[in-house]
């Protein structure tokens, strides 16, 4: 990789009209949402059907922790460009195209290991799929924030992005389950991989200047060679790190019988303790201090310098706000299978029912974020999300029927679409425009750290309190986010006098 071109190249690749820009971010949301269920909900259903222990299935939920740490490589997306792709299409779109290739390759690999005969191999390709999906989100989020710096401009873009994202999630989840039921899990993953590949030619047509066809093909060829090298390096690095992690886990005796709940809670609290200890020093930093000028750490230091101790309740709020969404995603499919539903019925619910419900929720959430004060909109989102979780308690006790699963799915998707749209706007308004990719990656990643840690221990929790207790708890944790609203509603970031 080489130093990134300036913002002009990114703007040249952006559509000229507002409608075209919304369509672009709808496509980017679709591209990021399509693979998400394939390493989360669909993978949980696949492992359940292969009789993998529920506690181990919960551990696979920790694959979703990878997006939580996207801030660790987000500065690379801001600082570097992909040879060929970025020179012609701009920095943001260059990374997006690389990530899309990584998504397709990882999904094909998951297709040909769909027997789950080797769980470490299944985990390897699930982690790679999560990594490239997250990288696409980092680049797309940075581009979205650059093009929409105010709530009025950000609301429509966030809605378009989430429409695409959530429609792809439910479409891939639905399609994969139905194909798996009538063909095989290998076929299911190949079908979704083919759908993901369709975005590449559409993205390659973006660019408004009059560059010749020859230059475009040179850019594509150079980009493909560079991408192949980067993807191969990613596989090797992930395999080495994964082997080390599994060896360490075996050495300390972690297995399906391990109760990880206490460790998860300690790990979840640790960042708050460390940040509280570091804040006094951060607040005293001068504008020219190395920690505020380094391209690697300055974006993150800036968050805590601007918000000070108020950053702690902000981070606590965002940690609880999406709790219900994440925990539902982790165990909803094992619950439905345990309740007696077949994959086709679940797939129809995730497609025909979930898609329109989610779209209505996203549209309403974006409208509320623009029309109401954000704290009020956030409170509505938290309450709606809680109800979306509690509906699964009814599903568990009700006799299996199409009406029950369709109703539960519709409310769940509506609720989490609504809260998700409001949440995206809120996080975008916290970001300093100087570092959109890094800061949004950190805030959105931190928001899912505690929920995904708890989701990984979901099998242990379900075993202790049952299916009904699990979903009562997850909804209650989402609702608890409103306790922080009186504090964050008064939050005003500090301005740099320099």
* 160 falls within a domain: yes
Residue 176 belongs to a domain: yes
Q: Domain of 115?
A: 2-488
Within a domain: residue 497?
no
Give the pLDDT of the chain (498 residues) as one tens digit per residue: 444 445 555 555 556 567 777 888 888 888 888 898 899 889 988 998 998 888 888 888 788 888 777 877 887 887 888 888 887 778 888 898 899 999 999 999 999 999 999 999 999 999 999 999 999 988 888 888 777 766 667 677 777 887 888 788 877 888 899 999 998 999 999 999 999 888 888 777 776 454 556 677 787 888 889 999 999 999 999 999 888 887 877 777 666 566 666 666 677 667 777 777 888 888 888 888 888 888 778 888 888 888 888 888 888 898 899 888 888 888 888 999 999 999 999 988 987 888 889 889 988 998 998 889 989 999 999 999 999 999 999 999 999 999 999 999 999 999 999 999 899 889 888 888 788 777 887 888 788 888 888 887 888 888 889 999 999 999 999 999 999 999 888 877 767 644
Q: Answer yes or no: is 330 within a domain.
A: yes
Please report the pLDDT score of residue 210 as a whole number: 46
What's the predicted TM-score (pTM) here?
A: 0.70
Binning the chain into helix, strand and coil, the percentages to the nearest 5 are 80, 0, 20
Residue identified by tokens 């799929």 is 129
**Structural contact between residues 473 and 465, judged by C-beta atoms closer than 8 angstroms:** yes
In a domain, 495, yes or no: no
Q: Could you tell me the CATH number of the domain that includes residue 355? A: 1.20.1250.20
The reply to whether 496 falls in a domain is: no
CA angle, residues 420, 421, 424, in degrees to nearest 5: 85
Six token digits for residue 477: 């944790």
Helices 323-338, 402-430: crossing angle, 10 deg rounding: 160
Phi, psi for residue 421 in degrees, rounded to 5: -65, -45
Residue 498 lies in a domain: no
Number of domains into which the chain is organized: 1
């Amino acid at each position: 990789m080489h130093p990134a071109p300036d913002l002009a190249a990114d703007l040249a690749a952006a559509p000229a009209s507002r409608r075209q820009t919304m369509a672009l971010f709808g496509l980017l949301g679709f591209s990021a949402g399509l693979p998400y269920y394939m390493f989360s909900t669909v993978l949980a259903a696949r492992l359940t059907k292969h009789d993998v222990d529920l506690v181990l299935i919960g551990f696979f939920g920790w694959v979703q922790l990878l997006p939580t740490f996207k801030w660790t490589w987000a500065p690379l997306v801001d600082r570097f460009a992909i040879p060929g792709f970025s020179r012609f299409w701009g920095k943001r779109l260059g990374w997006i195209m690389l990530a899309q290739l990584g998504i397709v390759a990882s999904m094909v690999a998951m297709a040909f290991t769909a027997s789950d005969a080797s769980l470490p191999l299944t985990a390897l390709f699930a982690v790679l799929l999560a990594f490239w999906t997250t990288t696409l989100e980092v680049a797309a989020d940075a581009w979205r924030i650059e093009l929409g710096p105010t709530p009025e401009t950000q609301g429509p873009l966030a809605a378009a992005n989430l429409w695409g994202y959530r429609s792809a999630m439910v479409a891939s989840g639905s399609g994969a389950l139905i194909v798996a039921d009538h063909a095989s899990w290998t076929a299911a993953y190949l079908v979704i991989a083919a759908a993901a590949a369709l975005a590449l030619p559409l993205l390659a047509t973006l660019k408004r200047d009059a560059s010749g066809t020859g230059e475009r093909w040179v850019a594509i060829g150079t980009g493909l060679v560079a991408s192949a090298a980067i993807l191969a390096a990613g596989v090797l690095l992930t395999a080495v790190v994964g082997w080390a992690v599994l060896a360490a886990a075996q050495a300390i005796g972690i297995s399906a019988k391990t109760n990880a709940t206490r460790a998860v809670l300690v790990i979840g609290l640790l960042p708050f303790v460390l940040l509280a200890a570091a804040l006094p020093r951060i607040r005293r930093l001068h504008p020219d201090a190395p920690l505020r000028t380094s391209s690697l750490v300055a974006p993150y230091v800036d968050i805590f310098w601007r918000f000070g101790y108020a950053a702690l309740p902000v981070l606590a709020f965002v940690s609880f706000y999406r709790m219900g969404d994440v925990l539902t995603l982790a165990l909803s499919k094992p619950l439905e299978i345990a309740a007696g539903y077949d994959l086709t019925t679940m797939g129809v619910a995730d497609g025909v029912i979930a898609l329109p419900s989610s779209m209505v929720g996203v549209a309403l959430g974006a409208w509320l974020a623009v029309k109401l004060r954000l704290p009020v909109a956030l409170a509505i989102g938290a309450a709606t999300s809680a109800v979306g979780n509690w509906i699964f308690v009814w599903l568990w006790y009700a006799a299996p029927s199409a009406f029950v699963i369709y109703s539960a799915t519709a409310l769940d998707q509506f609720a989490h679409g609504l809260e998700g749209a409001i949440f995206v706007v809120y996080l975008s308004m916290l970001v300093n425009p100087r570092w959109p990719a890094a800061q949004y990656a950190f805030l959105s990643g931190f928001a899912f750290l505690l929920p995904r840690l708890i989701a990984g221990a979901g099998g242990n929790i379900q075993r202790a309190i049952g299916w009904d207790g699990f979903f009562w708890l997850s909804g209650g944790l989402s609702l608890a986010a409103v306790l922080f609203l009186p504090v964050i509603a008064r939050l005003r970031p500090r301005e740099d006098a320099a």
